[in-house]
Each structure stands twice: as C-alpha cells, then as structure tokens.
Amino acid sequence: MAARGRDFWRATVLLLTLALLAGGVYTVVAFVQRSETLVSERCTADVGTQHAALATDQAVYASLITAVAVRRSLPPRAASIALATAMQESKLRNIGHGDSAGPDSRGLFQQRPSQGWGTEAQVMDPYYATNAFYDALVKIPGYESLEITDAAQRVQRSAFPHAYTQHEVMGRSFASALSGQTPEAVQCILRAPQESGAPDIVETELVQAYGALAIVTEGEVLVVQASGSHAWSVAQWAVANAKQLAVTQVDVAGRSWLRQDQAGWQVSDAADGQVRITVAPAGTGN
C-alpha cells in the first residue's frame, strides 16, 4: 500500500509539473503574440535635427515618389515638393474620390481629368500620376529655388495655396533619406511578417520604380548592384516597403537593417557596391 501511495503521488506531481510547463509555454507564446500586436507600426526619417513619421502605407508611396525623381535624375528638392503636395492632397494615399472643390479629383495628387491630367484610370496609377506631376514641375522656371508651397501651388493651382507649408519638414526629411542623400535615415518599426516574401515581386517593384537595375536573386535574397547615394536610395526604399513586401533584412555599405531588432541601422560587414534585400522565407506564417 505504501508503494502504491508513493506511485500515486509521483504521478500527481508529474502531471502538475507538466501542466505548469504547458501553462508556462502558453503564457510565453501569448505574451509574444500580444507584444507583436502592441507594436505601433510606422516609418520615420531623421535628417539632422528634422524628424518626420509616416504610416507604413504612406511610406510606400513616399518611396515611389522619391524613386521616380531619382530615376529621372531630378534633385531631392523635386521630391520634397512632390511629397509635400501629395501629403496635402491625399494624405499620401491613392484615393479614388475628390472633394467639393474638385469632384473629379483622383489619386495621390488629386489630379483632375477635366483639367487635362489624363484619364481617371491614368491618374489613379501612382507611377503615371507621379510622372505627370514632375512633368508639370520641371516646366516651372527656377522651381528648385522656390518655396515648396509656391512651387506646389504653381503645379496644382489649389484653392488652399498655403496648405502645403505644413508638410515641408516631412517632405524634406523623406526626400533626403529616400533619395539616398542622407544614409541610414529611414527606420520602420514593424511586426513580424505574416507570410513569405516573393523575390520576383520585389524585383518587379524595384524596376518599375527605378528603371533597369542589375539584380541577381540568391534564394530569398536580391542582390542589387548599386553604389553611393543610389545604393542608399534603393536600400531605404526596401525598408519603406518592408511591410508590403515581407522584407526582413537590408544590407548596404557597412550597415544592416534587421526587421526583428527594431533598432535601426547597425554596423555590419555589408559590402560596398551592392544592396542585399532579404525577404521572409517560404512557409512563414503557415
């Protein structure tokens, strides 16, 4: 009877221990999951004393607008003007409606088909709309030396000509960072990716934004041949698009951005002359 009692208590202790361990694992998993949901996803640009922040979807369009300026060999000032304009007109989102002042306004820059900006389908295409804006901007003599609000107004002819001023810091900060003039300035705080990345889609988006690039794919890593400010422009474009494209790491010129660290750019052994963009592996989120 004594032996049987001891066996009973041993079994009871074992079951309690296993229950506590299971509870502990559940608690840890729940804590990690809750911590993930509490992450406030955002992208920031710090240039000198200037600080600006955007939602992750806004950062995607900011990176596109700036990449198109880089592709066209326009100065960062052009991107600053375009970013401030798009923020005022659409909050940097590709919206499919206008307002009482312009009921047929559409897209990032709220361009109006009735005023010759193109068809509704065209102005709803972010690439078309951005190029249309720059086409108009470069026709303004001396636009680079104009105040941002003045240059924007000459393109847009808005009913609220002074409204662009409030977005100047954002425009300058993200234009300087995303054009590569200010390295390691863009940082995005993101949750873990919920699905795997697709290197071919990243390549398609890159080429559409920047034009022809020398790209080699190595598994989940895209290697883009680029140097100097162009490399930093591509690298920070990748960070700004990390949520949408499931990017987990970007390496360039002795620096690395790791999504999981949420600590910004860190010193690394990343080689010069190339940008390495790593996406989440197959099976992520399954």
Longest distance between any two alpha carbons in the chain, whole Å? 102
pTM: 0.85
pLDDT tens-place string over residues 27-62: 433 444 444 566 799 999 999 999 999 999 999 999
Share of the chain above pLDDT 70, in %: 85
Does residue 213 register a pLDDT over 80?
yes
Handedness of CA 192, 183, 74, 43 (dihedral sign): positive
The Cα–Cα gap between 149 and 81 comes to 8
Buried b (16+ CB within 10 A) or exposed e, 260-275: eeeebbeeeebeeebb
4-18, 42-56, 120-134 — which is least confidently predicted?
A: 4-18
The Cα–Cα gap between 89 and 107 comes to 9
